[in-house]
Amino acid sequence: MGYDQPQTLGKGSTGGGLAAPIFKDFMGEALRDTPIVDFQVPEGMKLIAINRKTGMRANEGEPGTIMEAFKPGTGPADSYWVIGGDEIASEGREAISPQANKAIQGGGGGLY
């Protein structure tokens, strides 16, 4: 979505953000009489619980998780590290800034 001649779509608006609700309504109508089927995991893929805020593998029973399918040999990180973090920590300093920690712990509201 957008204009032929470049101009703003409005504060905080994006073409995709405006188009998504239209597409959702269109597909809802197009698939109205189609039976709902459960997602079928393709052969060889593995479903893994993911923490929706951090994107890392979730612990068993952890709240706020989503299930994602992964190809063999791929998947979420079990942990994260900061380049040079060991060196910084050995000096007695925090290995990660409060802002980075907030981003890791708070996430972006989910995986897309």
- Domain range list for the chain: 15-106
pLDDT tens, position by position, 44-55:
898 889 888 878
**In the chain, % of residues over pLDDT 70:** 68
With 90 as the cut, is the pLDDT of residue 29 above it?
Answer: yes
The answer to whether 77 touches 68, Cβ cutoff 8 Å, is no
Specify the pLDDT at position 112.
Answer: 42
The answer to whether 2 touches 9, Cβ cutoff 8 Å, is yes
